[in-house]
Amino acid sequence: MLKTVAAAALALSAILTAPAHAAPDVPDFVTIDVVTVNGSGCPAGTAAVAAADDRTAFTVTYSQYLAQAGQGSGPTDFRKNCQLNIKVSYPQGFTFGIAQADYRGFANLQQGATGTERGNYYFQGMSQGASRTHTFTGPKSDNWQATDRATVSEIVYAPCGEVRHLNINTELRVNAGTASKANSFMTMDSTDSSVSTKYQFSWKRC
Amino acid sequence: MLNTLAAAALAMSTIIIPPGGAPGDTPPPDHITIDVVTINGSGCRAGTAAVAVSPDNKAFTVTYSEFMAQVGPQALPTDFRKNCQLNLRVNVPSGFTYGISSTDYRGFAHLERGATALEKANYYFQGMSQTEYKQHNYRGPFSDDWQATDTTDVAAIVYHPCGEKRNFNINTELRVMAGTSDPKKVTSFIAMDSTDGSIETTYHFAWKVCPPKP
């Protein structure tokens, strides 16, 4: 749930609580730009960013974002992370919330092993964050997909009148569990995020 | 089938379906073009993929130097699955929407008796959770070139949401399963040499008119 951040942001910015359908006066251009991509799962040169032409969506792909445990793995390999720093530009007088991020990858988990994808969301300069976790249980050897979607009432609001970059720190963890002899691993192939005034973003007047 | 994506896109974008419902009846006023924006994945790390785009930007070829999945005595436990994701920008004449139609995959596989391999492609638009896939399976003993083509008929085509610009993603993957073969003794592998994508307004693409903006 993203309620923690929502509550914090609401308190800070005294946003007028508008009905969920009060979005007709949505401004035209909300844009998102990936500023940095870095982490143990995405060292320099291993991540590629593809932005949509209108800068309302992006795809990040990874070449070595893989966490593993058990046979053949190092003791620190069970947890990898990749953090995206995103500049969100929006017209004056409006604030915003992120509504959707899609994570896709592959997991090979032995019976007894588990894999976790976690997204930590926070704004620069705000201690409060929100996180969502998706857990996968072995036996599994297939693609996985996870979506973090915030409904209008629990959306993350940026403080009005301030410019803060949004951080999305994703991580993969693999726990060998009772399958410590065999290898279990989990990869992330891509992260997609988008903002849309139509169906993936909600707006409230400052 | 890409019906799910098509339905989702239709729901989001309120595309007007022309009477008669025969997509492709209305040709675009100008040609459409595609650009490969990024290529990345465990099977195509930076510097290992090359892109060749046709002069009219209607077709492209990606070639790989190390897109290979394997099992065997010299393989790591994580080597049995490799992926490569293409991010494509499709430039569409204003007022029209589009669907992707045809992609060819070519490579080589050496599979011991009892081993199996697959080539799988996941298709999705940025910002849309819906993912569609097509999969092709191979069974050992096999030691030869392979080729797979993903096509969609007109009724099952993916429509780009009107009024938004979203890149199209094709995430291809290769997997090898040792099966009843002994990976401690024998190696099985599958490699992808090339991916070809193309769009043709005549038969590779279907068109529908977007509603005018209020």
Q: To the nearest whole number, what is the mean pLDDT of chain A?
A: 77
Q: What is the pLDDT of residues A77-94, one digit of tens each?
A: 999 999 999 887 765 555
Instruction: Tell me the shortest Cα–Cα distance from B87 to chain A, in angstroms.
Output: 7
Q: What is the pLDDT of residues A146-167, one digit of tens each?
A: 998 764 334 445 555 556 788 8
**Alpha-carbon distances of B17 from A89, B11, B213, rounded to whole Å:** 35, 12, 16
Select the highest-mean-pLDDT range: A25-29, A98-102, A134-138.
A134-138
Cβ–Cβ below 8 Å for A48 and B40: yes
Query: Does A194 contact chain B (CB < 8 Å)?
Result: yes
Strands B168-177 and B81-91: antiparallel
Rg over CA atoms, chain A? 18
Average pLDDT over residues A69-76: 94
Per-residue pLDDT of chain B (214 residues; tens, 9 = 90+): 333 333 333 333 222 222 223 334 344 445 667 889 999 999 999 999 999 988 888 788 999 999 999 999 999 999 999 999 999 887 766 555 555 568 899 999 999 999 999 999 998 888 888 788 899 999 999 999 999 998 754 333 455 555 567 888 999 999 999 999 999 999 999 999 999 987 654 333 445 556 665 5
| Confidence class for position A136, pLDDT limits 50, 70, 90 | very high
**Which pLDDT belongs to residue B59?**
85
Chain B: residues touching A (Cβ < 8 Å):
12, 37-42, 44-46, 76-78, 80-81, 83, 85, 87, 89, 120, 122, 124, 126-129, 131, 133, 164-167, 169, 171, 173
**Which pLDDT belongs to residue A153?**
32
- Asked if pLDDT for residue A169 goes beyond 90, the answer is yes
Residue A157: phi and psi, rounded to 5, are: -100, 130
Residue B19: phi and psi, rounded to 5, are: -55, 140
Taking Cα atoms as reference points, which of B81, B82, B113, B79 lies closest to residue B185? B113
Which residue in A56, A143, A193 is closest to B164 by CB distance?
A56
Say which DSSP state A76 is in: T
C-beta separation of A59 from B169 below 8 A: yes
Average pLDDT over residues A73-80: 96
**Which pLDDT belongs to residue B55?**
87
Task: Count how many Cα atoms sit within 13 Å of the Cα of residue B171 in the half-sphere of its side chain.
Answer: 30
Cβ–Cβ below 8 Å for A59 and B46: no
This prediction has a pTM of: 0.77
Which residue in A108, A143, A196 is closest to B127 by CB distance?
A196
Which residue in A46, A68, A192 is closest to B127 by CB distance?
A192
When mean pLDDT is compared across A37-51, A89-103, B163-177, the lowest value belongs to A89-103
Cβ–Cβ below 8 Å for A198 and B165: no
Query: Does A53 contact chain B (CB < 8 Å)?
Result: yes
CA A149 centroid distance within chain: 10
Cβ–Cβ below 8 Å for B127 and A198: no
